[in-house]
Amino acid sequence: MRVDLNSDVGESFGPWRLGETEELLGIVTSANVACAFHAGDPRVMEDVVRRAAQTGTGIGAHVGYPDLVGFGRRAMDLSHREIVTDVLYQIGALYAFCRSQGVPLRHVKAHGALYNQGERDLRVARALVEGVARARLGLVLVAPEGSAMAQAAQEWGVPVAREAFCDRAYRADGTLVPRREAGAVRTDPAEVVEQAVRLATQGKVRTIDGQEVQVGCDTLCIHGDTPGAAALARAVRSALEAAGVEVRPFPGPGEVGQG
């Protein structure tokens, strides 16, 4: 039994701080680094990559829509080509900092509205994946099992690390309860920890209406922009290790045994 823990980091910008990047990089095993389209700037990117290199954290590009003031959370109607080229651009920008530190860039994860649209909209998902594939870096896509992103990745032969959530409620069909609905987000640390362990050890969650469903889980998302994020991440990691789960990065480019 093994699982990766991923967290969104590097979401500061210019004079503004956001998140608990510094602490999280000692706990999670994969870091989704903002690439200056929705958050982050070249200094923040350098800091995060250096720190991730020191802690042995796997580095990925957290690619988003070009909407800084909206933090990439507002849906935008971009063409296929606009998404492909925006994704390539962001991957390359972050890759330069990885080269500079002598560490690999391993994965890509969509951010905010791009992630949300990529879950269900195959047109958006295919553009995202084309950008990932065309970088020719053997990058892994972090995406939920069964999502349009996962399907597009299969079409392109892009490896997927199946992402699951320990702080979100699931429905019986294995999809998440939308955030606007009651009970969508789990805030009780004990429940979060329990769901993490169940996902990592059994590949299952208990749904919002009490059923058990299978949810593929190579990597658990640890939200980083909530107060106390680092403390919760630490609790999740400890519980996983106590349950005999090996917490380490999913296999990266060129590695055997992709989950």
Measured from the CB atom, is 91 or 233 closer to its own copies? 91
CB of 46 to its own copies, least distance (A): 5
Contacts of 168 (CB under 8 A, 6+ apart): 176, 177, 184, 185, 186
CB of 73 to its own copies, least distance (A): 8
CB atoms within 10 A of CB 175: 16
User: What is the rounded distance in angstroms from the CA atom of residue 124 to the CA atom of residue 115?
Assistant: 9
Task: Render 143-191 in DSSP notation, one character per residue.
Answer: E-TTSHHHHHHHHHT--EEEEEESSB-B-TTSPBPPTTSTT-B---HHH
Residue 41, SS3 per DSSP: coil
Measured from the CB atom, is 113 or 197 closer to its own copies? 113
Measured from the CB atom, is 89 or 145 closer to its own copies? 89
Measured from the CB atom, is 15 or 183 closer to its own copies? 15
How buried is 178 (Cβ within 10 angstroms: 0-12 exposed, 13-18 middle, 19+ buried)? exposed
Residue 24, SS3 per DSSP: helix
Residue 96, SS3 per DSSP: helix
CB of 14 to its own copies, least distance (A): 4
CB of 227 to its own copies, least distance (A): 12
Measured from the CB atom, is 180 or 257 closer to its own copies? 180
Measured from the CB atom, is 46 or 145 closer to its own copies? 46
DSSP state of 258: -
Amino acid code (one letter) for 98: C
CB of 202 to its own copies, least distance (A): 36
The site for its own copies (CB under 8 A) is made up of 11-18, 36, 39, 41-43, 45-46, 66-71, 74-78, 81-82, 85-86, 88-97, 99-100, 102, 113, 134-137
Measured from the CB atom, is 67 or 145 closer to its own copies? 67
Query: CA 186 → CA 98, 174, 176, 182, 252, distances in Å?
Result: 34, 16, 12, 10, 30
User: What is the rounded distance in angstroms from the CA atom of residue 115 to the CA atom of residue 50?
Assistant: 26
CB of 43 to its own copies, least distance (A): 5
CB of 65 to its own copies, least distance (A): 9
